[in-house]
Structure 1
Amino acid sequence: MTTRRMQGRIAAARTFDRKANTVPKARSWTRRIYVNFGAPEELLDACALLISEVAANAVLHGAGATYTVTVAPDLWIEVWDASPLLPRHREHELTSEGGRGLELLELLAPGYQVIKDTPRGGKCVRFPPKRWA
């Protein structure tokens, strides 16, 4: 684990191998950070679902050997991978298992951002999970 500045705040960051078996590790690591930052209980499920989706997308559609997850104290999450290709809405059947990542972000993290990362290359997907009512 390392620390660095994200959006002006000190954050926890961890780099994972871009392999499918790291997605649960990224999810549990992020959840622990959220708990340590005092996140309300209702955010933990949204956090787990969204980090699973975005980390899985970094594994499936990203580039490079690794991806990095950063969590800021204001509970924004950032997932970086080396691919410069930005996510896009995909057509999918009702029974398909994939293609709903941006829909989930729009529903559970309406302030999400997709940013080309000029200093490192690649892109970042940043989002603050919203509270569930």
Structure 2
Amino acid sequence: MSLTDHLPGQSSAARTFDREANTVPTARSWTRRIYTQLGAAEDLLDACALLISEVVTNAVLHGAGAQYTVVVESDLWISVWDESPALPRHREHALTSEGGRGLELLEMLAPGYQVIEDTTRGGKCVRFQPKGWT
């Protein structure tokens, strides 16, 4: 696991995690800490925690490669990159299903989210900024 923490004057913080389920809480708490350092309000911290959990879980479950990378920009955009070229897609799910709502959550809480094919490194990046940040 590699780490580049946010320091005053930098425009981003980045951390690479092993693509394992037990890293999801660590990615969530690390991202929340960076958001706190950048002065995000409590409601944005909660939205950030929910969305990063969802996107990172998808990278772990549906991604490829041994690791994934999370980048937090100073304008509170978050990017999650993994090596899989497969793009996220809407899935049918029952009302009682525990999964399948990731894109719906992004559409609701971060309506300008982006899915970017990474033609340089391969794979893809899911990029979002929770609404409400000014």
Answering whether residue 59 of structure 2 is matched by residue 58 of structure 1, we say yes
Cα deviation, 1:83-120, whole Å, max 9, x if unaligned, reads 00000000001111110000000000000000001111
Cα deviation, 1:11-58, whole Å, max 9, x if unaligned, reads 100000000000000000000000011112220000000000000000
Whole-angstrom distance in 2 between the partners of 1:41 and 1:101: 21
Answering whether residue 66 of structure 2 is matched by residue 68 of structure 1, we say no
Identity among equivalent pairs (%): 79
Answering whether residue 124 of structure 2 is matched by residue 123 of structure 1, we say yes
Q: For structure 1, which segment, 32-41 or 18-27, has the greater mean C-alpha deviation from structure 2 after superposition?
A: 32-41
* Deviation, structure 1 residue 10: 2.2
Q: For structure 1, which segment, 47-56 or 33-42, has the greater mean C-alpha deviation from structure 2 after superposition?
A: 33-42
| Divergent runs of 4+, >2 A | none
* Deviation, structure 1 residue 73: 0.3
Count of residues in correspondence between the two structures: 128
Partner-residue secondary structure (3-state), 2:58 = helix
Whole-angstrom distance in 1 between the partners of 2:25 and 2:4: 19
Unaligned stretches of 5+ residues in structure 1: 4-8
Unaligned stretches of 5+ residues in structure 2: none
Partner-residue secondary structure (3-state), 2:111 = coil
Q: Give me the TM-score of the superposition, normalised by structure 1.
A: 0.92
Answering whether residue 12 of structure 2 is matched by residue 24 of structure 1, we say no
1:59 corresponds to which letter in structure 2?
V
Answering whether residue 122 of structure 2 is matched by residue 109 of structure 1, we say no
Whole-angstrom distance in 2 between the partners of 1:11 and 1:118: 21
2:76 corresponds to which letter in structure 1?
L
2:82 equivalent in structure 1: 81
Whole-angstrom distance in 2 between the partners of 1:131 and 1:10: 20
2:98 equivalent in structure 1: 97
1:120 corresponds to which letter in structure 2?
R
Whole-angstrom distance in 1 between the partners of 2:40 and 2:93: 34
